[in-house]
Chain A
Amino acid sequence: MADVPLTPRAYLQAQSRWTPVEIAFWLATLLPFWLLPDYLSLASQVAITALFALSLDILLGYAGVVSLGHAAFFGIGAYTAGLFSKFVWGAPLPGLLVAAIVSAASGFVVSLIVARFRHFTLIMLTLGIGLLMQEIANRAHWLTGGSDGLQGISINKVLGAFNFDLYGYTAYGYSLAVLFILFLCARRIVHSPFGLALRGIRENWTRMPAIGAPSRAHVRMAFTIAAAMAGIAGALLTQTTQSAALESISFGRSADVLVMLVLGGAGRLYGGLIGAAIFMVARDQFSGIAPQYWYFWIGLLLIGVVMFLPNGILGGLSALAARWRKS
């Protein structure tokens, strides 16, 4: 092990160095193209959900803000991308950008309210706002298509060259590329002084302002970034499936993504990715066996992870690895 770095800059650099495991992980994400070409549409939705979980990780894992209404921003992104393609332009990348801007703006507005609160109050406020958003989307039938879902979405080829095919080659390639780019951004953010300040806020909300880091302003910033990323994830889902529905904005989706992140291990960037992959693949496999009872097996999986790997799969594994290294 290297010595403890002395300067803050050196500490941050050491933290953000790429490890062989990380590189192997990203190389492995390319394997489905060759090994599992029949599973690419699932893989693309795993990548999208992973991005959604990653956005929540910035909020929850780093700033310590638990949100039960994060799907609100996912849904705003999804509907924005859908409406943009319907009324303005079907090109995917501009659609992503517009979705990011709209959801970031809504995230900022919501953060003005919620950043003043902590703990249970904050959870319930995000839950309430999420439920309000869902009901608004239902009631704005003329705009969103209500419970039937948004009709008339048409998405052009990606970069004018890649059509969204039945196998999902384009969908996966596109989602994975966006996930990777945003992961790089997220990695940069959490290893910056701002990211360190967020961790400080997570550990002690009241002491951070005393050392010159304004907690509320930082939480607002984190909330906005997380909302933008969630919005991009929602837009990706709309574009790859050419559909947007109320389910994308629902409490169920907020709860699922929280479960996935905690399952993988919060505060580690990779936790959301691993959690999303394990949850969705397990669900797909279990529901293939018994479509009515997959809840049972997923439930057992969650209970098992809590009992044997506290702090999520990555947290548990790293604890085990540390113990093994010691002995």
Chain B
Amino acid sequence: MRKSLLLAGAVALAAVYATAASAADPIKIGVIAAYSGQFADTAAQIDNGIKLYMKQHGDTVAGRKIEIIRKDTGGPNPDAAKRLAQELVVRDKVDILAGFTLTPEALGAAGVATEAKKFMVDMNAATSIVTEKSPYIVRVSLTLPQVSSTIGHWAATKGGAKKAYTMVSDYGPGLDGEKWFQKAFKDAGGEIVGSVRMPVANADFSAFVQRAKDLNPEAIFVFVPGGAQPAALGKAFAERGMDAKKIKIFSTGEAVDEAALKAMGDIALGRLSGWHYDYTLKSKTNDAFVKAFNAMFKRNPDFFAVGGYDGMHVIYEALKKTKGKTDGDALVNVAKGMKWESPRGPIMIDPATRDIVQNIYMRKVEKVDGHLVNVVIDTVKDVKDPTHK
């Protein structure tokens, strides 16, 4: 009831603005992402999130049409991202920058956002420092310290593990995960018995798993990039006789995402993870989101898609508040402190850091109706990025 009232109100307001700014040019949003190359699927899902939001909420905000211009960086190229951001600003005259599959892309474009005073929405890049690089950035995705410190604390307290081993990919996000899991785990009274850093592009994990097994820890924390590696790692655990039902294997969400669970099969049962979104989350907003997403793209949404979706939400709502004004300062000011109900639950843009504040769900892989899913066993509410506390 309240929702429909709000909606009616919004429509009425929109009608008022429409008369005020009907002759205005479209609002252009430049989306910079790695549409091609190794991370193409990430970009594709972010893009799907954007498309779905625009389909559901129309392509007009505050009386002005929204136009999306997509640019491909091909991978973690700050130089390409910077050039594309410059071109979007000077040639295409975009009003807002968005997207950013990977941290280097966001860092490359940040300078342009500052210089051109453009509102910039980080829909995925997850290194903490991103939001520090320009006062015009807001982030709607996640930060790795946010997730991994939550997992570390939970593992040592409610998880009941005292001795843990960490296995992470040897690059920025992996090192972040390692650092913050270990810190939180030790702060909560746990002990780190060992750790290993694995090559970023790694095909075979059995050697690393054997090293972990040699030390016989109670819990293991793993971080590997999404794609083919999660399943390979899961199979290596099973083959070396490390049953996730007996030893607690913690990870972030990528390592137990839908594709990984499908590829692993029953050996994934009992795997623990902490993450901010899963398509199986039980809520009205998420049910509707997943249904609409499936109808449009014939696949389930993932956290990339929800990043794109929520990113568009911030943009739409901010534009409504500024009455279609696209001035960077105005947009970022109204985005600060914005709260809403996302498919992932209640979320907020921290007014002080412009970073996301959200629930982290602790999940366990179980079989429900013959399908492997991440079942939520605990919810840690309103988690901030620990580096900016």
A–B in direct contact per CB < 8 Å? yes
Say yes or no: is A173 at the interface (Cβ < 8 Å to chain B): no
Known: A42-B87, A45-B83, A166-B115. A149 touches B104 (CB 8 A): yes
> Which of A139, A147, A148, A292 contacts B72 (CB under 8 A)?
A292
Chain B 265-320 residues near chain A, CB threshold 8 A: none
Secondary structure of the A contact surface, majority rule: helix
State the CA gap A241–B111 with chains docked (Å). 9
User: Would A148 and B104 count as touching, CB distance under 8 A?
Assistant: yes
Known: A148-B129, A287-B36. A247 touches B104 (CB 8 A): yes
Write out the residue numbers on chain A whose beta carbons fall within 8 Å of the beta carbon of B71: 287-288, 291
Say yes or no: is B108 at the interface (Cβ < 8 Å to chain A): yes
In the assembled complex, the CB of B297 is this many whole angstroms from the nearest CB of chain A, namely 14
Known: A247-B104, A287-B36. A146 touches B172 (CB 8 A): yes
User: Would B75 and A252 count as touching, CB distance under 8 A?
Assistant: yes
In the assembled complex, the CB of B103 is this many whole angstroms from the nearest CB of chain A, namely 5
In the assembled complex, the CB of B299 is this many whole angstroms from the nearest CB of chain A, namely 15
> Which of B33, B83, B87, B200 contacts A138 (CB under 8 A)?
B200
Write out the residue numbers on chain B whose beta carbons fall within 8 Å of the beta carbon of A117: none
User: Would B91 and A245 count as touching, CB distance under 8 A?
Assistant: no
In the assembled complex, the CB of B106 is this many whole angstroms from the nearest CB of chain A, namely 10
> Which of A39, A138, A166 contacts B170 (CB under 8 A)?
A138
Secondary structure of the B contact surface, majority rule: helix
User: Would B75 and A247 count as touching, CB distance under 8 A?
Assistant: yes
User: Would A292 and B44 count as touching, CB distance under 8 A?
Assistant: yes
> Which of A38, A248, A292 contacts B35 (CB under 8 A)?
A292
Say yes or no: is B40 at the interface (Cβ < 8 Å to chain A): yes
Chain B 22-54 residues near chain A, CB threshold 8 A: 33, 35-36, 40, 43-44
Say yes or no: is B86 at the interface (Cβ < 8 Å to chain A): yes
Chain B 89-105 residues near chain A, CB threshold 8 A: 89-91, 103-104
User: Would B83 and A287 count as touching, CB distance under 8 A?
Assistant: no
User: Would B175 and A287 count as touching, CB distance under 8 A?
Assistant: no
Size of the A side of the interface (Cβ < 8 Å), in residues, is: 35
User: Would B107 and A291 count as touching, CB distance under 8 A?
Assistant: no
State the CA gap A146–B83 with chains docked (Å). 21
Write out the residue numbers on chain A whose beta carbons fall within 8 Å of the beta carbon of B70: 291
Write out the residue numbers on chain B whose beta carbons fall within 8 Å of the beta carbon of A291: 33, 35-36, 43, 70-72
User: Would B36 and A147 count as touching, CB distance under 8 A?
Assistant: no
Write out the residue numbers on chain B whose beta carbons fall within 8 Å of the beta carbon of A146: 171-172, 175
User: Would B87 and A39 count as touching, CB distance under 8 A?
Assistant: yes
User: Would B175 and A295 count as touching, CB distance under 8 A?
Assistant: no
User: Would B76 and A246 count as touching, CB distance under 8 A?
Assistant: yes
Chain A 228-265 residues near chain B, CB threshold 8 A: 237, 241-248, 252
Say yes or no: is B143 at the interface (Cβ < 8 Å to chain A): no
Q: Which residue of A lies closest to B44 (CB)?
A: A292
State the CA gap A262–B248 with chains docked (Å). 54
Say yes or no: is B327 at the interface (Cβ < 8 Å to chain A): no
State the CA gap A135–B70 with chains docked (Å). 31
State the CA gap A241–B312 with chains docked (Å). 28
Say yes or no: is B252 at the interface (Cβ < 8 Å to chain A): no
User: Would A241 and B76 count as touching, CB distance under 8 A?
Assistant: no
Select the residue from A41, A42, A148, A151 with max chain B CB neighbours within 10 A. A148
Q: Which residue of B lies closest to A253 (CB)?
A: B77
A-B interface pairs (CB < 8 A), number: 107
User: Would B79 and A39 count as touching, CB distance under 8 A?
Assistant: no
Q: Which residue of A lies closest to B107 (CB)?
A: A149
User: Would B112 and A166 count as touching, CB distance under 8 A?
Assistant: yes
User: Would B78 and A241 count as touching, CB distance under 8 A?
Assistant: yes
User: Would B90 and A166 count as touching, CB distance under 8 A?
Assistant: yes
State the CA gap A292–B43 with chains docked (Å). 9
Say yes or no: is B127 at the interface (Cβ < 8 Å to chain A): yes
Write out the residue numbers on chain B whose beta carbons fall within 8 Å of the beta carbon of A26: none
User: Would A147 and B79 count as touching, CB distance under 8 A?
Assistant: no
State the CA gap A24–B200 with chains docked (Å). 48
Q: Which residue of A lies closest to B201 (CB)?
A: A135
User: Would B75 and A242 count as touching, CB distance under 8 A?
Assistant: no
Chain A 139-155 residues near chain B, CB threshold 8 A: 139, 141, 145-149, 151
Say yes or no: is B64 at the interface (Cβ < 8 Å to chain A): no
State the CA gap A41–B103 with chains docked (Å). 21
> Which of B36, B72, B90, B175 contacts A141 (CB under 8 A)?
B175
Say yes or no: is A64 at the interface (Cβ < 8 Å to chain B): no
Write out the residue numbers on chain B whose beta carbons fall within 8 Å of the beta carbon of A294: 36, 72
User: Would A243 and B79 count as touching, CB distance under 8 A?
Assistant: yes
Say yes or no: is A168 at the interface (Cβ < 8 Å to chain B): yes
In the assembled complex, the CB of A10 is this many whole angstroms from the nearest CB of chain B, namely 45
User: Would B129 and A41 count as touching, CB distance under 8 A?
Assistant: no
Say yes or no: is A162 at the interface (Cβ < 8 Å to chain B): no
Write out the residue numbers on chain A whose beta carbons fall within 8 Å of the beta carbon of B170: 138-139
Known: A241-B79, A295-B36. A138 touches B72 (CB 8 A): no
State the CA gap A138–B129 with chains docked (Å). 18
State the CA gap A294–B72 with chains docked (Å). 9
User: Would B76 and A247 count as touching, CB distance under 8 A?
Assistant: yes
Chain A 105-155 residues near chain B, CB threshold 8 A: 135, 138-139, 141, 145-149, 151
Say yes or no: is B11 at the interface (Cβ < 8 Å to chain A): no
Say yes or no: is B82 at the interface (Cβ < 8 Å to chain A): yes
User: Would A147 and B82 count as touching, CB distance under 8 A?
Assistant: no
Q: CB-CB contacts of B146-173 with A at 8 A, as 1s and 0s?
A: 0000000000000000000000001111
Known: A147-B103, A237-B79, A291-B71. 9 other contacts (CB 8 A): A146-B175, A147-B171, A148-B172, A149-B108, A166-B90, A241-B78, A245-B108, A292-B35, A292-B36
Q: What are 15 pairs between A and B in contact, CB < 8 Å?
A: A138-B170, A141-B175, A145-B172, A147-B171, A149-B108, A166-B90, A167-B90, A168-B90, A241-B78, A241-B83, A242-B82, A243-B107, A245-B77, A247-B75, A291-B72
